[in-house]
Amino acid sequence: MAQFRLPGADRTYPDPHGGGGGAAGRSRRIRRSGKAPLRVMAGAIAVILALVLLVAFSSHLLLSRHGEIRSRLHDENVGRKQGSSVGLKGAIPRVLRFGKGSGKVGWDSRQWDKDDRRRDRDYAEEDQKFPGDGGRKSENETVGSRPSHSADHGLYNEGGRAELDSYRDEYEVSLKKGGKLWEDDVVGKGNAHDDYGYGYGFGGEGKSGGDAVTDELKKDSSVISGKGGGGGGDSKTEKKLASRRKPRHHKFSGSSCKIKFFNSTAQLVEPLESKKFSRFSLQYKEVEDRPNDLENWEPRFAGHQSPQEREESYYARDQKINCGFVRGPKGSPSTGFDMAEDDVRYMSRCHIAVSSCIFGKSDSLRTPYNKVVTRLSRKNVCFIMFMDEITLQTLLSEGQKMDGSGFIGLWKIVVVKNLPSTDMRRVGKIPKFLTHRLFPSARYSIWLDSKLRLQSDPLLILEYFLWRKGYEYAISNHYDRHCVWEEVMQNKKLNKFNHTLIDQQFEFYQADGLKRFDPSDPNKLLPSYVPEGSFIVRAHTPMSNLFSCLWFNEVDHFTSRGQLSFAYTYLKLRRMNPTKPFYLNMFKDCARRSVVKLFRHRAEDKGNIPKQLMR
């Protein structure tokens, strides 16, 4: 029968029978104690071997995973570039004549786009909390909502197709440097020398989406020459490459920059007009006579400007130019944009103006955030909201209350009658570009599109964007596109305007010297050819006023898409006045997001086809 040794049985006890059991016990104990170290050593060796095997296996997994990631990134980069080239060839067989039977629309649209917001769904920031909001929900925010970014909507961020490719390239470089993630290096810290980008520099390693697409168009001779419109390539290969692609997300669509505003407006002192600003006398044509040889002549709000007058208006010199608010001869009907005399007198006394407009009841009224507007600004700044009668009636029916002085909150409501156009977007360009005409005594102005809400003090805005470095005009670049070629492509693709008129405008600009945007050019005059345009800060200097008039005349003469004419207007003004600088501050768009908050348009614009398109 097997016997089991009880614990402690190996201990030495005296043998009751004197049989030397004690010595035997000691002998057995000595033998067992000699085997114990051997078992400990064997166990230690086994543990060490297991750890070595575990480390080796983990290293193998990491190395294989790293190789797989790099291979996948390489395949995706190749696939995207090939796919982009194929897509551009198939969708946009022409560049110099955008549209005209090309593009996904497939036809030359002669129908006015009543509301491009149905296709061009702008990113919105209403779901993002402003630090001073105290956690309360925004006006359009609903429970469970999420930020709506341009990349989520596909088409609007199509121009940024190659942007993430550059980020992945930077990620590859960071791995070679020691495995530091590009998000920490580029996005987290930003580029200290980047004045106009989102962590990537114009002319540096990273490229904006617009620049990358422009390079693709340059490389593709068949696209540039207008030859060939086939898709090209094997369909199976295209499907395989498309399956590998992952959804693109615009990295910076909701980002904002830290702005070092002064802590208080109490110490602000309005500067004297800088002597470096160009000085000349700029006057405006107010009345024009009827030509004797034209029977069907009608007065226009912008007047009738001949090609020679248009060309000469670009000279920064003493002159009288067309700049809106032109009336016909005595007895002629009003050319539009009529306001009450009391409102006109009120605006003529404003020294600093913050203005916006809502026409066609396309937006809700967004009052500036009260807690950030100081008492000094409330006393010295005019807040003017232009709107038509139908918009005012809509706001009042929704519960907005206007006091006896015509104010809703901080906004002084100015009702505009007899609108010069049935296109609400074109009418909106009047208070946007011609602020110096509406506020003749104002020295400074801040413009906000109706989709924005002001969330910074106006005086601090003026100090930061103008006074601190001596600028006279400030506007942000576009958050995604930086070349007019790409902006034209997007306007045609989204059917934002009559294709034929866009073609005519763009061809005219090219014939007059407009070139592609080159981010690597060290002598470039602008950091971007495409402005965001919804937020403008300006000093009412002669050069700033002249630029505003010229830009308005371009919008009146061609399409109402101001982003198509901005770069041409600025470059031509600089080219024709080489000795008279224009101090323009084109800042990065994330700075705009720090001072204003973006909301979605609440309704579709019901504007009709403009009269000038119904010829």
Dump pLDDT digits (tens) for 477-492: 999 999 999 999 999 9
Q: Once rounded to an integer, what is the mean pLDDT over residues 491-503? A: 91
pLDDT at 185: 33
Q: Once rounded to an integer, what is the mean pLDDT over residues 512-538? A: 95
Confidence of residue 90 (pLDDT cuts 50, 70, 90): very low
**Cα(353)–Cα(539) distance, integer angstroms:** 11
Residue 510 has pLDDT above 70, yes or no: yes
Which residues are bridge partners to 413 per DSSP?
385
In percent, how much of the chain has pLDDT > 90? 49
pLDDT at 380: 95
For 86-95, 365-374, 439-448, 525-534, which range has the lowest pLDDT when averaged over its residues? 86-95
Residue 209 has pLDDT above 80, yes or no: no
For 142-156, 237-251, 555-569, 590-604, which range has the lowest pLDDT when averaged over its residues? 142-156
Confidence of residue 613 (pLDDT cuts 50, 70, 90): very low
The larger pLDDT score, comparing residue 367 to residue 113, is at: 367
Taking only the tens place, the pLDDT of each residue in 312-337 is 999 999 999 999 999 999 989 999 99
Q: Once rounded to an integer, what is the mean pLDDT over residues 63-81? A: 53
**Cα(576)–Cα(559) distance, integer angstroms:** 23
DSSP per residue, 512-544: TT-----TT-TT-S-S-S-EEEEEEEEE--HHH
The larger pLDDT score, comparing residue 201 to residue 374, is at: 374
Q: According to the 3-state scheme, what is the secondary structure of 318-368?
A: CEEECCCCCECCCCCCCCCCECCHHHHHHHHCCCEEEEEEECCCCCCCCCC
Mean pLDDT, the chain, integer = 73
Confidence of residue 377 (pLDDT cuts 50, 70, 90): very high
pLDDT at 254: 56
pLDDT at 611: 42
Residue 379 has pLDDT above 90, yes or no: yes
SS3 586: strand
Residue 135 has pLDDT above 90, yes or no: no
pLDDT at 130: 44
Contact between 473 and 586 under an 8 Å Cβ cutoff? The reply is: no
Confidence of residue 70 (pLDDT cuts 50, 70, 90): low
pLDDT at 351: 97
Contact between 368 and 354 under an 8 Å Cβ cutoff? The reply is: yes
